Amino acid sequence: MRNQSVVLLVEIAIFAALGYVLDMIGFGMPQGGSVTFVLVPIILIAFRRGIVAGLITGFLIGILQVVTGRFYAAPLSFEIVILQVAIDYFIAFMVAGFAGVFRPAYMKALENKDTKKMAIAVILGAFLAAFLRYLAHVTSGILFFGEYAGDQNVILYSLIYNATYMIPVFLFAAFICTILFVKAPRLLLPNNA
């Protein structure tokens, strides 16, 4: 039992490191946000080990970004920036771990060898991960980046701005995870690793 806990912690650390590295590959937006593959390892661990492992992995990715200086802070006071960074990095990446909600549906489809239902579960998990992350970024945009909206409605501005990179992030994650999870389902079975 203790060895299984150690293996789980090592897997979480590896997936968090992989997510951090994958977040460096892509292109960034002018006021923060980027199109990267960071959601793939979060979704993978969430489907492999469950929601809690996904939440921890996402949280660790956020910590890695902040401690290494790979974050975009709003031009505000220090106290407010702490809250903005918490929302944009710790919370936004952590909530992506909720993709694991669709793990039982995926496992049932895998057991029945129903690749269509497997793909649907993966796409829904990727959508949930991306959508929850998107909501965190939209909230941060409304609260902390309103000055970039100019004369526009700040809510609409944040919704549109954050969609410009989160829609491609979702599409990339859904595509990659669907191929991985349908073609190599053993990746999601911890006992066969």
Domains of the chain: 2-192 (1.10.1760.20)
DSSP, residue by residue, 86-103: IIIIIIHHHGGGGGGGGH
**pLDDT higher than 80, residue 132:** yes
What average pLDDT does range 173-181 have in this prediction? Answer: 96
Q: What is the pLDDT of residue 110?
A: 95
Could you tell me which of 122, 67, 57 has the C-alpha nearest to residue 95?
A: 57
pLDDT-based confidence at residue 1 (cuts at 50, 70, 90): low
pLDDT in tens, 79-91: 888 999 999 999 9
pLDDT in tens, 17-57: 999 999 988 887 776 778 999 999 999 999 999 999 999 99
Q: What is the pLDDT of residue 193?
A: 44
Token pair for 91: 């919370």
Q: 37: which DSSP letter?
A: S
Q: How far is CA 52 from the centre of its chain?
A: 13
